[in-house]
Amino acid sequence: MVSLTVNGSPHQIDADPATPLLYVLREELALNGAKYGCGLGQCGSCTVVVDGEAVLSCMVPIMLLEGREITTIEGLGTIDEPGPLQQAFIELQAAQCGYCIPGMMMSAHALLRRNARPSEEEIREALTTNLCRCGTHMRILAAIRRAGELMQAASLPAADQGRAG
């Protein structure tokens, strides 16, 4: 048994401690936002946030995550009440097929928590490990800038945006 805290809720997971977090999220917890792209830590579609930092969930065995705070895309808001990042991505129609988008948003979430007004350079830097095969990069960048604005406009510290951020 490994205990994990995902989006603020505790879970007891009955799986081999070597199981990558991604599998547990999708198969045990039905949190299907994080995507399986390569399984090799090379594409970023499985990105989630652990203790405030973006990590690749396909590479992380759950045994390393006990007692740590895991946030997935589902923790950023709901369909009825999208969080600022989700709202910005919808507003700017930043998804094409959408496969890379949860990973992109989680990398952006980690960045915006630290810094709601990142420079273009900083955004690109934060997203270097996220690939998009559809090529919607320019819209993704615009959406992240927009999310930063929304967070500031709401005049909430960026850190409070994610429910379990």
Closest by CA to 57, choosing from 77, 85, 31, is 31
| Structure tokens, 93 | 């129609």
* Residues in contact with 137: Cβ distance below 8 Å, sequence separation at least 6, in sequence order: none
- Single residue of 15, 28, 39, 61 touching ligand FES by CB under 6 A: 39
What single-letter DSSP state applies at residue 20? B
**CA–CA dist 83, 151 (Å, integer):** 9
Q: Considering only residues 49-108, where is the footprint of ligand FES by CB under 6 A?
A: 56, 58, 95-101
Considering the complex, state which of residue 60 and residue 158 has its C-beta at the smaller distance from ligand FES.
60
Instruction: Give the footprint of other proteins on this chain (CB under 8 A).
Output: 16-20, 36, 38-42, 50-51, 53, 55-56, 59-61, 63-64, 121, 125, 128-129
Cα within 13 Å of Cα(70), Cβ side: 29
Considering the complex, state which of residue 19 and residue 96 has its C-beta at the smaller distance from ligand FES.
96
Contacting positions for ligand FES (CB under 6 A): 36-39, 41-46, 56, 58, 95-101, 132-134, 136
